[in-house]
Amino acid sequence: MNVFLMRKRLFIFFSACFIAISAFSLSPKYEMRAVWLTTNWGLDWPSRPIRTADDVSLQKKELTDILDRLQAIGINMVFFQARIRGEVFYASQYEPWAMVLSRGQNPGYDPLAFVIDECHKRAMECHAWIVSYPVGTTRWVRRQGKASVVARHRSWCKQSSGEWFLDPGNPSVKAYLVDLVKEIVSGYDIDGIHLDYIRYPDRAEKFPDTDSFRKWGDGATDLSRWRENNITSTVFVIYDEVKRLKPWVKVSSSPLGRYASLPGFPAEWSCMEAVCQNPKLWLREGKHDFIVPMMYFSEENFYPFLRDWSASCPAGRVACGLGVYRLDKNNGGWPLREMQRQIEATRRQGVGQAYFRYENLYRHTGLAQWLSSWFYRNPALPPRCASSPVRHIDSPGNFCVETGTGVSELSWSPVYDAFCYVLYAADDTLDIASGEQIVAVLPQERSFCILPESHRYYAVTARDRYGNESSPAVWEERRIELDKYKIVLQSIKE
User: Residue 480 pLDDT more than 70?
Assistant: no
Assess contact for 13 and 332: CB atoms under 8 A.
Answer: no
CA–CA separation, 487 vs 462, rounded Å?
Answer: 42
User: Residue 338 pLDDT more than 50?
Assistant: yes
User: Where does the pLDDT of residue 485 fall: very low under 50, low under 70, confident under 90, or very high at 90 and above?
Assistant: very low
Assess contact for 168 and 212: CB atoms under 8 A.
Answer: no
**Positions of CATH 3.20.20.80 in the chain:** 3-375
**pLDDT score for 8:** 47
Across 13-23, average pLDDT:
45
Across 449-461, average pLDDT:
94
CA–CA separation, 51 vs 189, rounded Å?
Answer: 28
Summarize pLDDT for 32-83 with one digit per residue, the tens. Answer: 999 999 999 999 999 999 999 899 999 999 999 999 999 999 999 999 999 9
From 20-34, 194-208, 234-248, 291-305, the region with the lowest mean pLDDT: 20-34
CA–CA separation, 90 vs 105, rounded Å?
Answer: 11
φ, ψ of residue 354 to 5 degrees: the values are -140, 130
Tell me which fold the domain 397-476 belongs to. Answer: Immunoglobulin-like (2.60.40)
User: Where does the pLDDT of residue 488 fall: very low under 50, low under 70, confident under 90, or very high at 90 and above?
Assistant: very low
User: Where does the pLDDT of residue 149 fall: very low under 50, low under 70, confident under 90, or very high at 90 and above?
Assistant: very high
**pLDDT score for 494:** 39
User: Where does the pLDDT of residue 121 fall: very low under 50, low under 70, confident under 90, or very high at 90 and above?
Assistant: very high
H or E element in which residue 466 lies: none
Three-class secondary structure of residue 177 per DSSP: helix
User: Where does the pLDDT of residue 24 fall: very low under 50, low under 70, confident under 90, or very high at 90 and above?
Assistant: very low
User: Residue 16 pLDDT more than 60?
Assistant: no
**Positions of CATH 2.60.40.10 in the chain:** 397-476
**pLDDT score for 12:** 42
Assess contact for 474 and 465: CB atoms under 8 A.
Answer: no
User: Where does the pLDDT of residue 453 fall: very low under 50, low under 70, confident under 90, or very high at 90 and above?
Assistant: confident
Q: Read off the pTM.
A: 0.93
Percent of the residues in the chain that have a pLDDT greater than 90, as a whole number? 87
User: Where does the pLDDT of residue 469 fall: very low under 50, low under 70, confident under 90, or very high at 90 and above?
Assistant: very high
Q: Calculate the CA 178 to chain-centre distance.
A: 21
User: Where does the pLDDT of residue 477 fall: very low under 50, low under 70, confident under 90, or very high at 90 and above?
Assistant: confident
Class of domain 3-375: alpha beta
Across 304-318, average pLDDT:
96
Most distant pair of Cα atoms in the chain: their distance: 103
User: Residue 108 pLDDT more than 80?
Assistant: yes
Mean pLDDT (the chain, rounded): 92
User: Residue 14 pLDDT more than 90?
Assistant: no
Summarize pLDDT for 417-446 with one digit per residue, the tens. Answer: 999 999 999 999 999 999 999 999 999 999
**pLDDT score for 406:** 80
User: Residue 211 pLDDT more than 90?
Assistant: yes
E strands, 217-295, in order: 250-253, 290-291, 294-295
User: Residue 2 pLDDT more than 70?
Assistant: no
Residue type, position 333, single letter = G
| Comparison of pLDDT for 269 and 185, the residue scoring more | 185
Assess contact for 8 and 304: CB atoms under 8 A.
Answer: no
CA–CA separation, 237 vs 177, rounded Å?
Answer: 10
**pLDDT score for 25:** 62
